[in-house]
Amino acid sequence: MIFRVETDVQIDESHRFVELVPPGSACTVALTSGYVDAEPGALQGVQLNVEDADAAHAYLREHGVQVSDVAEYPWGRFCFFEDLDGNGWSVHEVQVD
């Protein structure tokens, strides 16, 4: 999954705002520096919804991400990984009835 850069602004020496758009999404992800005082790895439980967990899993593995196997739950299929800062992410295949 390759995100498109919507905005990338260096506000001043210590503040930067980057806004990313996942493919086909109306939502964006904001990455900032200088605005939130949190230690690396403090972000846990961010969920990315995808149409195909197996495809997302393969993509992550192909790009060197250590990702868990895809697990099946009554509410969907998931795999999990941590980014380089130790933040925890889940990839969720939404079950459509």
pLDDT, tens digit, for every residue of 30-58? 888 888 888 889 999 989 888 899 999 99
The overall pTM is greater than 0.75: no
* CA neighbor of 16 nearest in space, from 35, 29, 2: 35
Task: Give the SS3 label for residue 13.
Answer: coil
Provide the pairing of β-strand 88-93 with 46-50.
parallel
The top-level CATH class assigned to 38-97 is: alpha beta
Predicted confidence band of residue 97 (pLDDT cuts 50, 70, 90): low
What confidence score (pLDDT) does residue 5 get? 95
Where do the CATH 3.10.180.10 domains begin and end in the chain?
Answer: 38-97
Instruction: For the beta carbon of residue 34, count every other beta carbon within 10 angstroms.
Output: 13
